[in-house]
A and B are shown apart, each in its own frame.
Chain A
């Protein structure tokens, strides 16, 4: 009861007027209904009346007409009453009364306002008129006269109660009439000075002020015109809409005021709820304005986002968000990129035609939000402002200090309003596991996915209330701290985003899943993308999409895995499998899964086999997820349960793919999202066995090497090595220094299997000799084919795992080009290692391979593998830098345009000028200097190391820097390649080895601080004995190294030259 009162107190005068008006309106409407018998009409009047009074909750009305008394059911008279007589032609026929159920603050007339008295009198008058009209004795003249339009009743009332509103509505009506083309309406318009009528003119001077005064358009005249040109229904609905619009002015005002805080907005939204105005009753323009303003305040200023979202959201959605939003006092934050993407995706799904069909099952987990600027409040509250400048420190300092920041954050406390909010959130979310996810502002600005750069933490959420709250606070603090962790800072630095203001919203979300034994996990999770960049069959089109699915939590589907494999499926080609035989399926089946360990109260990883053996039968949808391998065959699990299975259970999702509409649904989901978002999207999802939950949705991102590359158009033909136009996926592989080319023609002419096998061995050995990820392998047909060895070089994944790109050349023979493997022989290994695959059809119109260059270049094979020199006609190893001094090969692949180009380009900065376009421009500004840094730093430390060599004592006759540090292409994970020419005793050699090993470890530690890349040692030393090398020959001679360019380092003690 008091709640009602409190809420009503908050209404200001115009709000109350609007209230009274709508009460009057309602009564007029009821009395105007011819189909309603009088006793029903009277009863409805009694019910409708309290809404017009100040405290509707405790207000009751009573209507007496003749002998009949009408009251609501729970009516009882009280002392706090107000009465008005009902008169018909001067004679009292009844009484209309209003009672308050309890005492309230005194006003103009007892507890009542004077406006309320006016309203009561007016209502009584209307009822009298109604009785008169119904009076059978009055039949005749009165009945013949048309009843005056209902809206007419309202006008005088408005005039009395809210003249401002009436004026406003009059103006609106006048505009409306004018818009309708009513000629007289033009004359009623306020006049502008001659020639000053504002129009689409181009004059730049301000309009004259003149007649543009606060006009009082003649209400009667306007509505007379309206009565002539509009139907009664039209006028009624217009007036009602304008009244509603007037009532939400406060909301518009709050939203447009940049100073209003989240609290103000939340209040305004709450107030809006109490008004009972339906959103659809507002003019479209107002609806749109409100939605846009709310989208902007809650989510983002991003115009694309707003354009999509404004058609899909309603004010109710924001009320829902506001109720689960935690923020500090005076917050102006937002919910962050992740929350925005998920919110929008959910709206898109709900608004789609499939929301009751294929997508009926799609949900979003229950979520609470912390506004993005709460992190600032948190820092202020704990006097931690000094962390702000951390991002500008050198990366090694950032790395060093980060653990301290985490500790400091975890030891800090939250402002009380946030603690209270988190407590409420926990109450609402219950005792199931939760995840605290970052949702930063940069996530939606940077375009490049920030995913995984900031922390997301799973909480088992077990224990006492206090323990759970403590754990949640620690988690939020740790996620906050991740703003200052080295990874995202380096990422931002590389993209010139350091100076961008970063705030972090937080999502506290229930974890989707079920308890299975001691674990809590979803039945499966995954990532779905519109554009399939990992096509394992020529039948799969890019737009067929791709799912990366894993059992358990989705962490393993999101990240690239080192020693495990997700299951890949293409929703557009539901029948095609990456792995077709039992052996393949076994080899690439997921081995581990991520869970929440309820007993350990922590996130954990367990072997799939253990979970299935122990608790598989309790996992929802298990029979759709698992296949059993028995007798070389995969089959669904038997009814007896997994525990009784003789065969080996594997996660394949075969049942899901073939026995359920899951893949079709995912295809629909992806299509619906893409259509609305207008771009390819990337969706994270989880399934608890009953429903599919969206966890994240954003424009599809690509791993750094997997973004579509911009193909330059004006590359001179003599710089092109290869061109491909079919089945191209994305990729960008710059800095290729060596080419390994297995000549398809020569290979086809090899007379025996032994030599074909030898080609495979040569490739395998080159794989270990050539610089990792800096060479490409080009060969005929199918790499790693297990069929006829003529069709492709027989290799396993480990024989090619250091290559950057695998090119399969489909040379036409006798009129047909062979099918290529699409890397399927070790497709999933290539995927996880991000080795690019490129099919090349040189005999087709758009395909090209510079075979003359490859055949004419100096072949290093005899140098590198002297014992395999006989294969030199077949296997060609080309050092790009030797053939084209100062250049490397760059392979650019653009899956969207189905185009790939491999061309020679200068090795180090300056980058060539013909690479323009925004993408590359950005690269040039930000990436390259950074990369250059790695090489530069290595160069410098190599010089320092050399200067400390005691050449004479240590037996060092020469020291060269080779490889990536010299060529300027070193990455954070590159070793420093040194060639040592040594002459001395074995003891001296051992001593030198120990000395270099010490350096190697120390430099690895320093490199870790700089880059976060852990390596056990940083030096890669090749030894050359003095007598092996003819004097005057280059450093690489005798090292077995490809003819690397090299730099001789100045040794200490003047031991520089021979």
Chain B
């Protein structure tokens, strides 16, 4: 690992996605997420030696829509909201991406996120492109009826340019399944037909898919299982420590334990004490036992946990456990320059269940220490894969059982992992770089195949 790292000196200088401070230093001006995303892309494009045409096409969105949504407010006045939809690339299939409601939404943010969706879909090899949308608004300032009008207004403005086989929205920051249903209803009303595949994130029974709750957590563990396999290890011989006790973490713990692995530590936010604690049990935590003492809001009762034989440690101690696998499933930026040194020498794998849990500086250290990293782009792709499954089921109006969804997820995640790890091994790449390279390459290839470039 050390030798391969040296041979990739140029890469190591710039920390891998999404940090890349070296590129940004050149910018020498205010942070702009789209420019950062483009710089990230340029970095990969260099490595792939893409030609100018391909670069030009991929570093910008294919199509952008910006429009006004007038809404009659509850007090009788009219307010006009700005709406966006950016379709970055749909060479591989209908584009897919969330709709955000945010008071300081900007076109550049949406562009950057649309590009990210393109790579995300490509890395798990689902036949979808990338898109993103948004409305400049704050739901805290809006009544339900007003929010409904915004949703319907958004659809009216782009109705001819979206659809189950063109561009498929989904919930995102501050948008909810309810918003999706309003949008779906408007879209179906305008088209005078039923098209549940227009949107994802729907409730089960209203065109939603079973297995979605499990998808991300299970997906993380599928990739861990495959990573262990490349090390010729079985899950049953390994131990893990998990940060977070939310939906992703719980399902990751569930599946990892079912595979025979032992989760020794889990950290959880304590709302009452306003800090997180790590709960450790050398013999392995019992998920159901912990869920039994978890309140409706996801907090573990630490007194009762102590009675059950758990050690209560400071929240950050999940990171310093003597385990084989670390699974951060909480927030961004949890492994950083200051604590990365405390990671035990025993750790073989870090699987990023959360988005961006590793800071660029920490990423360099992890790379240098030769810890096998399963990057977020790949590790938590179970969610987007399940959205794809939802869309597929909606389009044929036939819904699978949970096990069918999860076994299809297993097939997809396993294949995606193997493609990335094969590339990484073959070309001696850091896994994070390999994931991006494979994603960009696939999209570029689709564009070539279509004769665009």
Contact = CB atoms under 8 A, between A and B. Distances in A.
19 contacts: A539-B141, A573-B143, A576-B143, A631-B203, A632-B171, A633-B176, A633-B178, A648-B296, A749-B29, A749-B30, A751-B25, A752-B24, A753-B19, A787-B102, A787-B103, A787-B173, A788-B102, A797-B274, A822-B140
B144 A752 contact: no
Interface string B269-300: 00110110000000000000000000111000
B398 interface: no
Interface in B23-41: 24-25, 27-31, 33, 36
Given A788-B109, A824-B140, A801 B31 contact: no
A781 B102 CA distance: 13
Contacts of B102: 787-788
B145 interface: yes
* Interface pairs A-B: 4 shortest CB-CB: A575-B143, A580-B139, A819-B103, A633-B177
What is the size category of the interface that chain A forms with chain B?
35 or more
Interface stretch (A159-167, A325-333, A581-589, A953-961): A581-589
Q: Considering residues A562, A589, A790, which has the most beta carbons from chain B within 10 angstroms of its beta carbon?
A: A790
Contacts of A757: 332-333, 359
Contact of B31 (A591, A787, A790): A790
A748 interface: yes
A536 B177 contact: no
B138 interface: yes
B238 interface: no
A538 B29 contact: no
A587 B270 CA distance: 12
Given A632-B176, A750-B31, A754-B359, A575 B203 contact: no
A976 to B, nearest CB: 25
A563 B140 contact: no
What is the size category of the interface that chain B forms with chain A?
35 or more
Given A754-B21, A757-B359, A819-B104, 10 more contacts: A580-B140, A587-B271, A630-B203, A631-B208, A748-B30, A751-B28, A753-B18, A753-B36, A790-B30, A790-B33
Contacts of A495: none
Interface string A540-581: 000000000000000000000011000000000111111011
Contacts of A607: 295
A1002 B161 CA distance: 74
A536 B31 contact: no
Interface of B: 18-19, 21, 24-25, 27-31, 33, 36, 74, 100, 102-106, 109, 138-146, 171, 173-174, 176-178, 201, 203-204, 208, 212, 271-272, 274-275, 295-297, 332-333, 338, 359-361
Contact of A798 (B18, B178, B274): B274
A575 B146 contact: yes
Given A575-B142, A576-B142, A788-B33, A586 B297 contact: yes
A562 B274 CA distance: 11
Interface in A781-838: 781-782, 785-788, 790-791, 797-798, 801, 818-819, 822, 824
Contact of A581 (B105, B146, B176, B295): B176
Nearest to B296: A609
Contacts of A822: 140
Contacts of B19: 752-754
A355 interface: no
Nearest to B246: A583
Contacts of B31: 748, 750-753, 756, 790
Contacts of A801: 274
Given A754-B21, A781-B104, A587 B297 contact: yes
A932 B272 CA distance: 32
A839 B366 CA distance: 42
B274 A788 contact: no
A575 B103 contact: no
A537 B359 contact: no
Q: Considering residues A539, A562, A587, A818, which has the most beta carbons from chain B within 10 angstroms of its beta carbon?
A: A539
B332 A563 contact: no
A658 interface: yes
B131 to A, nearest CB: 18
A607 B105 CA distance: 39
Contacts of A591: 295-297
A632 B100 CA distance: 16
Contacts, number: 130
A786 B173 contact: yes
Q: Considering residues B138, B144, B359, B361, which has the most beta carbons from chain A within 10 angstroms of its beta carbon?
A: B138
B298 to A, nearest CB: 8
A819 B361 contact: no
B292 to A, nearest CB: 13
Contacts of B143: 573-576
A324 B402 CA distance: 66
B177 to A, nearest CB: 4
Contacts of B359: 754, 757
Nearest to A745: B30
B144 A658 contact: yes
Contacts of A574: 143
Contact of A632 (B27, B138, B177, B338): B177
A196 to B, nearest CB: 67
A869 to B, nearest CB: 15
Contact of B24 (A634, A748, A751): A751
Nearest to A631: B203
Contacts of A536: 140
B30 A575 contact: no
A782 B144 CA distance: 23
A647 to B, nearest CB: 10
Contact of A754 (B146, B201, B203, B360): B360
A265 to B, nearest CB: 51
A609 B295 contact: yes
Interface in A901-921: none
Nearest to B140: A824
Interface string A579-620: 011100011010100000000000000010100000000000
A578 B146 CA distance: 15
Nearest to A788: B109
A788 B297 contact: no
Given A581-B174, A609-B295, A788-B33, A537 B25 contact: no
A575 B28 contact: no
Interface string A470-503: 0000000000000000000000000000000000
A578 B140 contact: yes
A608 to B, nearest CB: 8
Given A754-B19, A757-B332, A563 B272 contact: yes
Given A575-B143, A591-B296, A751-B29, A787 B105 contact: yes
A791 B103 CA distance: 10
B28 to A, nearest CB: 7
Contacts of B105: 787-788
Contacts of B271: 563, 587
Given A575-B144, A751-B28, A582 B176 contact: yes
Contacts of A782: 103-104
A589 B25 CA distance: 44
Q: Considering residues A573, A591, A787, A798, which has the most beta carbons from chain B within 10 angstroms of its beta carbon?
A: A787
B204 A631 contact: yes
B141 A576 contact: yes
Contacts of A630: 203
Contacts of A577: 139-140
A788 B140 contact: no
A739 B452 CA distance: 57
A633 B180 CA distance: 11
B27 A751 contact: yes
A537 B103 CA distance: 12
A757 B334 CA distance: 11
A591 B27 CA distance: 49
Nearest to A633: B177
A788 B296 CA distance: 30
Given A751-B28, A757-B332, A791 B104 contact: yes
Interface string A872-906: 00000000000000000000000000000000000
